[in-house]
């Protein structure tokens, strides 16, 4: 890792190093953005939207929802806010039906 970083720094021009130096002096907002974007690329590479199945790889704006009970957390990603909204509506519907089913079971026992 550190050798890779030294290699990258060794290949940078003076102007590129000045940009990095300026970024460091400002609390590294540029580096943070680059790292966050690259992490998102890696996280979504080869993955698809939980609703429409669209490829998420390389998309700039991916929505991710973490849900479920503690210890059984699940994660789903979506290509657009419409797909996220549809998924949440389906979760609400499942929950509503589950509550209705429990009410009926209690009523019938």
Residue 90 contacts residue 57 (beta carbons within 8 Å): no
Number of residues in contact with Zn ion under rule CB under 5 A: 6
The residues near 80 (Cβ < 8 Å, ≥ 6 apart) are 49, 61, 63
Closer CB to Zn ion, residue 76 or residue 79?
A: 79
Within 13 A of 14's CA, how many CA atoms are on the CB side? Answer: 0
DSSP 61: -
- If we measure between CA atoms, which residue out of 65, 60, 56 comes closest to residue 84? 65
Closer CB to Zn ion, residue 54 or residue 57?
A: 54
Q: Compute the least distance from the CB of residue 38 to Zn ion, in Å.
A: 23
Under rule CB under 5 A, residue 49 binds Zn ion = yes
Residue 73 contacts residue 67 (beta carbons within 8 Å): yes
Closer CB to Zn ion, residue 85 or residue 101?
A: 85
Q: Compute the least distance from the CB of residue 29 to Zn ion, in Å.
A: 30
Closer CB to Zn ion, residue 89 or residue 100?
A: 89
Give the one residue of 56, 62, 79, 84 binding Zn ion; rule: CB under 5 A: 79
Under rule CB under 5 A, residue 76 binds Zn ion = no
Residues at the site binding Zn ion, with contacts judged by CB under 5 A = 49, 51-52, 54, 79, 83
């Amino acid at each position: 890792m550190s050798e890779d970083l030294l290699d990258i720094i060794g290949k940078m021009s003076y102007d590129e190093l000045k940009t990095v130096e300026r970024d460091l002096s400002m609390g590294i907002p540029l580096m943070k953005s680059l790292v966050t974007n690259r992490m998102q690329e890696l996280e979504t590479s080869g993955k698809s939207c939980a609703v429409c199945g669209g490829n998420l790889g390389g998309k700039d704006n991916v929505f991710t929802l973490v849900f479920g009970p503690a210890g059984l957390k699940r994660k789903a990603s979506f290509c657009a806010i419409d797909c996220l909204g549809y998924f949440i509506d389906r979760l609400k519907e499942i929950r509503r039906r589950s509550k209705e089913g429990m009410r009926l079971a209690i009523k019938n026992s």
